[in-house]
Structure 1
Amino acid sequence: MAFHAFQERCVLRTDEEYVGAREQIESRWTEIRRRIREVGPLPRYIFDWKLFDNRLKEVEKALEGITEIDMERYVKIFFGGKQWIEDGTTHKIIRLVWSSIDGHESCRNYPASVVIAKELISRVAHYFAGASFLLKMLRMPGVDGAAVLEKIGVCAFMYRSVVDEIVGKMKHLPRTGSAARRSVLARVNAADRYAQDHRIVGFGSGTRQQGAKLDRNSLRPRVLYIPDIPNFPVVDGFYFVEAPPEDGVAGGGGAGGVRWRNWTFVGVQVTKAGKHDTDCGAVASFMRRMEQCIVDWEQLKGQISWEIIYVQGRDSIAINRRQACKMLATDDRQSDKRVLTDEERRRREERAQLLREHQSALAFWETVEQYQVKLDSELLTIISRAAEIGERVLVERAGIAVKVRRKAGGKQKCSRASLPA
């Protein structure tokens, strides 16, 4: 930033010239920040558009060249607390940083940029989101099973036996004075309550290649949607379950309403904490992200039911009350009649807009039903068993596919969709 400011200032002779060029300077700085997010804070690339484009292509090529062995190493790094020291990873996607933890200083590797970090985590999640990913990850030496479940344990909702057990153990967190309410997962058939497929959702914040938006044709029930960014607000992942509302009152009408009115959003938040209160800022951020991801978000939001499940580790203090949403923004309108400057008026309008967003977030949060479940030893055993079964099924499917190809003399392809479920 200092180098950029020095560059810009050198070509400006007077303050008047700066005022006149401010908009262009800010635009150039915005572009530089975007480049930093994509390839890292490397001056020789971010200040030269041609070198930046070449570097971006090199980064993409390096990411495409990640192998299965690389994936397992990244799992240990991201979820096992393993120090990322020099291991031959290309410096196109990592950078060396000086780390100080508990007074111990050392050099270690770190993703070269925010976008690269997101891409690495996304690829790891996508790679291990198959039927046997939990088994592989939980059995890797040096990997913290609790950390795995906390960060991407949402994928356990892809196992029918696991979801069946969760339904039997989950508890409703009612509003004050309200009666307990059954989850949509307890009301539908066992075959309809778990996610049968998954999709990594590319929000693409700060990237050139933004993920394609989901519309009413591509958005489907029983697909687990996993955000491609770490620390996604409010939930770790979500899917939709199709079932009539328990009270018999369907959602609103309008375009898409016929299809969506019986849908329930099931959000999953895996946490170690004994409470997971949120605030309107986080909920508002969640709503902005969803609007960014889903084309018909405003219609969808008002037409479906909402649930969130807090999945806790076995050693966690159980959440036993409804999680609150704290109001942060306040109405700071002044009573004086003085004339405001343009800057004061702009800031007041921004605060008013923030207040409206937080009020909308608070109202939305009140419509969300909350549930809690703990990953006790019994449930963890079921997860492991389900993963083992899933792994055997994959092996059997692979064997069937090989036999079909051999029988066809290599001329006929056997797609995964044609194999038995």
Structure 2
Amino acid sequence: MDQYWGSRKVLYTGGEKKWQSEDPSHKLLRIVRVREHGPFEDFANAPICTYLGVLTLSRLARVMSPHDIFFLVLGMKNVLQSEALEKYSLSVFLIENFVTSIVRDLKELPPPSPSKPRSSVLTLNPHGYPTEAAAITELKLIDRLQELKYRVLCMPTSPTFPLVDGFFFLNSPRRTLAGLQMTRAHAHHTTTSTVRQFTEYLSWFFTNWEEFAQGLSWEMIYVQHAFSTMISKWQRCVPVNPNNETDAEKEIVAFWDGRYTNTSLC
């Protein structure tokens, strides 16, 4: 149960009701119950509003040095849940010095034959990094379709958003959707249904998605912890039921293996 504190009122809500306060300038806290392993529970802070958190970090990244941004994010490790911390950590991709410094650490994963490996778009064009961030909200909160722009780091606010933790588009050296996935696992395969959900969401959120997607290359960048087992093999996209693969699923798999690039960063 979420708990919200105001200076004069204490309300308990599941997150759908409006919070009432006679002193809106008072600090708000959102406390969530956490159970990881075993029967014991703990409490942790969670973002009151991920949308505002994304916009705040986007603006801070423009005026703060890379050093300060890193310490700002690291300073939240004992405050936010790990899922929220990982999402906000993606804001470092807004920093030119960070992106240009990681280029040498990007490892292209060899695709299945007959596709040929190709370099990451960030390796070929490190200055194509995103320069601003935008929050991708839940569909029920969208009042109109959004304009699709290059070099904008899109950060979903829904914990159930499929396939990626964030993504952005580059126009050079090839038109590319670059997906960012935070993972500690040594493998992070996906399914055709997840890819389909992702593309459906983009068509619901952006204007002219179907036209824009024509000829668009995709690249997934797996961002791993320094002590993780590094992803070294191609991350597959498999049908939900291999024994009953539909034509639509075959098309998704062929696209994944042919026009998709896997890149790992550890």
1:372 aligned onto 2:259: no
Q: Which position in structure 2 is the counterpart of 1:212?
A: 144
Question: 1:213 is aligned with what amino acid?
Answer: L
Q: Deviation string for 1:245-277 (max 9, x for gaps)?
A: 3xxxxxxxxxxxxxxxxx221111111111101
CA contact under 8 A between 1:163 and 1:193: conserved in structure 2?
no
More strand by share: 2
Call closer, same or farther: CA 1:137–1:362 in 2, change over 3 Å.
Answer: same
Q: Which position in structure 1 is the counterpart of 2:91?
A: 155
In the TM superposition, residue 239 of structure 1 has moved relative to its aligned partner by 1.0
Q: Which position in structure 1 is the counterpart of 2:236?
A: 324
Question: Is the radius of gyration larger for structure 1 or structure 2?
Answer: 1
Q: Deviation string for 1:48-107 (max 9, x for gaps)?
A: xxxxxxx85x34x66x9476x54xx55xx6xxxxxx4xxxxxxxxxxxx7979622368x
CA distance in 2, matches of 1:156, 1:100: 27
Provide structure 1 residue ranges, at least 5 long, that are not aligned to the other structure.
1-38, 42-54, 78-83, 85-96, 112-116, 246-262, 333-353, 375-421
Q: Which position in structure 2 is the counterpart of 1:202?
A: 137
CA contact under 8 A between 2:176 and 2:218: conserved in structure 1?
yes
Classify the secondary structure of the residue corresponding to 1:164.
helix
Q: Which position in structure 2 is the counterpart of 1:167?
A: 103
In the TM superposition, residue 234 of structure 1 has moved relative to its aligned partner by 1.3
In the TM superposition, residue 228 of structure 1 has moved relative to its aligned partner by 1.9
In the TM superposition, residue 181 of structure 1 has moved relative to its aligned partner by 1.2
Once the two structures are aligned, what percentage of the paired residues are identical? Answer: 25
CA contact under 8 A between 1:137 and 1:148: conserved in structure 2?
no
More helix by share: 1
Q: Residues 8-407 of structure 1: matches in 2 within 5 Å?
A: 40=14, 56=17, 58-59=18-19, 65=24, 69-70=27-28, 84=32, 102-104=38-40, 120-129=49-58, 130-131=60-61, 132=64, 134-140=70-76, 142-143=78-79, 150-177=86-113, 178-188=115-125, 190=126, 192-204=127-139, 207=140, 209-214=141-146, 218-245=147-174, 263-329=175-241, 355-366=246-257, 367-374=259-266
In the TM superposition, residue 125 of structure 1 has moved relative to its aligned partner by 3.3
Call closer, same or farther: CA 1:105–1:222 in 2, change over 3 Å.
Answer: closer
TM norm structure 2: 0.76
- Number of aligned residue pairs: give it: 244
Question: 1:358 is aligned with what amino acid?
Answer: E
CA distance in 1, matches of 2:248, 2:92: 33
CA contact under 8 A between 1:331 and 1:355: conserved in structure 2?
no
CA distance in 2, matches of 1:212, 1:272: 36
CA distance in 2, matches of 1:158, 1:238: 12
Alpha-carbon RMSD across the aligned residues, in angstroms, is 3.5
